[in-house]
A and B are shown apart, each in its own frame.
Chain A
Amino acid sequence: MATKRTPTLEVKGLKKSFLVGEENIPVLKGVDLEVGFGEFVVILGPSGCGKSTLLNTILGLEQPSEGQILVRGKDVYTMDEDGRAHFRRQKFGVVYQQPNWVKSLNVIENVAFPLNVAGIAHQEAIRRAKNILYLFKFEKFEKYYPMELSGGQQQKLSMCRALVTNPWIVMADEPTGNLDTVSSEDLMYDLKVLNVESKRTVVMVTHNPEYERYATKLIYMEDGLIKNIKQKSKPDFSLAEEESVIDLAEGEGIAK
């Protein structure tokens, strides 16, 4: 018997406007979206269409003017700022266009940082970060400082950092924006492997139409609204499979 599962992510009637001077500028004008477990969502659209605002709102960083964000049924904005911070570090991994680092920490300490934020013992955090670095073949750089690495390496590293907490959803905001073609393809491949092999939900914002091919769900945005949703294939996982990933979230390293 098929069970109706709770969507991993639901956006309901989302509106967001910014006050610029005395003018209220609407950026999101009513976005509805549903992301299922293990989907690879690519949000496409021209600059200024509201992609990044949508992403930041989902992450709990930008209070919406109207509407709801539900992550596995949990309404993100019923929590206060610290509550959302707490929620974010457990459920989301984030990769930005520009890698941002805690500059006084080296590679391994930066990757371990989200675990330290979560209050996990430092030794344990380092051990888990080591596992991730090993998977991405980065172990030889662990004592370097992130700023000493190339742009492509830094982006991969920020993916390691996004994954170290075993999040439900990996959010990527133009992750290849600053990279050359080879590094970009490399990073996209890693994201795809992550999505397929560890069945992790990925939501990526880009304006590069080339990346359409990685998506299982394509969303075209224009002027603060979703113009078109293209569902390429509908993965159908059993609940047991989903549980296995949730278990991993409390376990260690990344699922393989």
Chain B
Amino acid sequence: MKYRYIIKLAFKNLQRYKLRTFLTAGGVAISIGFITFLTALGYGLQKVSTDQIANMEALQILDIDAGKSKIVTVNEETVRNISNIFGVEKVYPMISVAGNLSMQGSKIDSIVYGKTQDILSIEKPKIITGKTFSSDNAEEILVNVAAVKKLGVADYSDLIGRNLEVSMILRPEFLGSEDNVSKKETASYKVVGILEEGNAPYVYIPLDNFQKLGVKSYSGAKVKTTSRENVDKIRVLIEHMGFKVSSIKDTVDQVNQFFSVFRAVLTGFGVIAVVVSCIGMFNTLTISLIEKTREIGIMKSLGTTKKDIRRIFISEALIIGIFGGITGIVVSMLLGGLLNTSVYALAKQTGNVSVKIFVFPPELIVVAIVLSALISFLTGAYPSRRASRISALNALRYE
């Protein structure tokens, strides 16, 4: 038999029992649609999270922390050594110390960071008002909103241009002194910008200001690598130097890991639906086989080979499976698109940033189609094999 004829015959057989075909394909559509929908949700949510955490550049960066160790310190020499590692683009030292801010009688605790303009260009902190430092040795300061609120200033833009007194506790390991005594330094800086993020108060001042106060070592550094592929290798090398290294990649990996599990759970629900639809399809095909016993008998006595009988039944299963599968995929994509549009509309109304919570990557569609074909083959295998093995004479005698 020609393949075209087998497909045609399979279609005609299915058309004879329209309702049954429709219901069975419907079952497949629901299960494949469900699994596609849930997996797309998993992908979407994962993408939303990882996009927020990191842009591509951030994944190339390693954070080095000297910790409280007195043996290894991040100083000019270590910065140079790390810079010499193959694959390192640049090393940006930074410092963070405990301190307090005072202005017009109010005094609050805060973390004081020493940062260079370079680092800020990588970190891209959100500045809601004002601008970043004019130079790396300017006596300027960036304050976050949480600090502004604690200082009792109602409108943060009022703060721009005013001076803020900053006291810092410089630990001995930063000063490189032998006497093991912390030093308290106070200086005044001009507020040039307001940072958006953070619930606890913190401020940024140019790193050079710390050096002016006698700081010789840093609390850590950021290492920018030339490519993402080098990150893990360089990380190991730096860890061997005795530093604690972390990377935003860790967080992203963790998030990805979480979402793999999350997606697997969602897919698991979908799998249950697929199993149910498989049973339904298997049932339909077996019933249709029993009903067609006499037909199989006459087909065989007219010279149809076992192989062709098997192909007819497998084709019927494939038509139901693929038709159902594609319908399911299309419906889930339409539904996902609709929900994305609703989220967009809602985000626009409430003034939030819009996100796509359903993402249908091409590989998901391909896998879903392959899955529907696979279901068809699996559920069609037994009935079609049985059909091909029916003895023509027994089948013709079958009532």
Q: Which A residues are closer than 8 A to B by beta carbons?
A: 56, 59, 61-62, 81-82, 85-90, 94, 96, 100-105, 113-114, 116-119, 121-122, 161
User: B306 on the interface (CB 8 Å rule)?
Assistant: yes
Can you give 18 contacting A-B residue pairs, CB < 8 Å?
A62-B393, A89-B303, A90-B303, A100-B294, A100-B298, A100-B396, A101-B298, A102-B299, A104-B15, A113-B299, A113-B302, A114-B303, A117-B304, A118-B303, A119-B1, A119-B2, A121-B2, A122-B5
Known: A100-B294, A114-B303. 5 other contacts (CB 8 A): A100-B295, A100-B298, A103-B16, A122-B2, A122-B8
Distance of A219 from chain B, by nearest CB (Å): 21
Alpha-carbon gap, A165 to B383, bound state (A) = 30
Distance of B315 from chain A, by nearest CB (Å): 13
Distance of B309 from chain A, by nearest CB (Å): 10
Q: Indicate if the CB atoms of A102 and B295 lie closer than 8 Å.
A: yes
Residue of A nearest to B309 (CB): A85
User: B177 on the interface (CB 8 Å rule)?
Assistant: no
Please tell me which one of the listed residues A90, A104, A117, A121 contacts residue B12 in the complex, with CB atoms under 8 A apart: A104
Q: Which B residues are closer than 8 A to A by beta carbons?
A: 1-2, 4-5, 8-9, 12-13, 15-16, 294-295, 297-308, 391-393, 396
- Chain A residue contacts of B304, Cβ below 8 A: 85, 89, 117
Q: Indicate if the CB atoms of A85 and B303 lie closer than 8 Å.
A: yes
Alpha-carbon gap, A99 to B150, bound state (A) = 95
- Chain A residue contacts of B392, Cβ below 8 A: 61
Please tell me which one of the listed residues B1, B295, B396 contacts residue A101 in the complex, with CB atoms under 8 A apart: B295
- Chain A residue contacts of B300, Cβ below 8 A: 61, 85
Given contacts A103-B295, A117-B1, contact A61 B393 (CB under 8 A): yes
Q: Indicate if the CB atoms of B303 and A104 lie closer than 8 Å.
A: no
Alpha-carbon gap, A94 to B308, bound state (A) = 20
- Chain A residue contacts of B15, Cβ below 8 A: 104
Given contacts A82-B305, A82-B307, contact A104 B299 (CB under 8 A): no
Q: Indicate if the CB atoms of A59 and B308 lie closer than 8 Å.
A: no
Which residue among A89, A101, A102, A113 has the maximum number of chain B CB atoms within 10 Å of its CB?
A102
Alpha-carbon gap, A57 to B303, bound state (A) = 14
Residue of B nearest to A113 (CB): B302
Alpha-carbon gap, A62 to B300, bound state (A) = 12
- Chain B residue contacts of A161, Cβ below 8 A: 302
- Chain B residue contacts of A105, Cβ below 8 A: 9, 12
- Chain B residue contacts of A100, Cβ below 8 A: 294-295, 297-298, 396
Alpha-carbon gap, A94 to B300, bound state (A) = 11
- Chain B residue contacts of A104, Cβ below 8 A: 9, 12-13, 15-16
Residue of A nearest to B305 (CB): A82
Residue of A nearest to B4 (CB): A122
Alpha-carbon gap, A102 to B396, bound state (A) = 12
Given contacts A102-B298, A122-B5, contact A86 B305 (CB under 8 A): yes
- Chain A residue contacts of B396, Cβ below 8 A: 96, 100
Given contacts A61-B392, A100-B294, A119-B1, contact A94 B16 (CB under 8 A): no
